[in-house]
Amino acid sequence: MVDCTGVLTNALSFSEGSSGRCKCNCPGTSSASGSSNLCSCTGGKALLNGDCQSCPADSTVVAGFCKCSGAKGFIGNVCSTCPSGSSVINGICTCSGGRAMVNGVCTCPSTSTFVNGACVCSGGQALVSNVCTCPSTSTLTGTGESAEVA
């Protein structure tokens, strides 16, 4: 069997083709380009939300991707000035410290708070799958800032 992992960086999936080589399953109407190792679109379109589309306002196609003008990045499908605590990474406003973009603001998940550059749960809880939870051998007593792990 052929190992097809890592062949194309933006493909939905890979499978072994009839010739024993990797076959890329690109999303929507995009197709694989062997020379660039990417699924790509034609006609001045870029891969957005799983299909070939025109870039949103204030952005252009650069190397097969939509790029916002200036120092802006995408929040959803809109070119925006990235909010405090985020920066443009691969064209997208990306929050730091484990935070996620929620309504245009970098927010820690669950009941965690942002302390010293990271989302931290109170009372000895651990952030597991974006939820503050007690370690498996303990229980939580109290609530909020007064919560303790017993």
- pLDDT averages per 10-residue partition of the chain, 150 residues: 47 57 69 64 80 88 87 91 92 92 92 92 87 76 55
Q: What is the pLDDT of residue 7?
A: 44
In a domain, 124, yes or no: yes
Q: What is the pLDDT of residue 17?
A: 58
pTM beyond 0.85, yes or no: no
Q: What is the pLDDT of residue 134?
A: 86
Q: What is the pLDDT of residue 31?
A: 73
Q: What is the pLDDT of residue 62?
A: 86
Q: What is the pLDDT of residue 8?
A: 44
Dist. CA 19–CA 29, nearest whole Å: 23
- Residue 26 domain boundaries: 1-44
In a domain, 127, yes or no: yes
In a domain, 52, yes or no: no
In a domain, 63, yes or no: no
Which residue, chain included where needed, has tokens 């006609």?
43
Residues sharing a CB contact under 8 Å with residue 144, sequence separation 6 or more, in sequence order: 111, 122
Task: Report the number of distinct structural domains present in the chain.
Answer: 2
16: β partners: 22
Strands 51-53 and 46-48: antiparallel
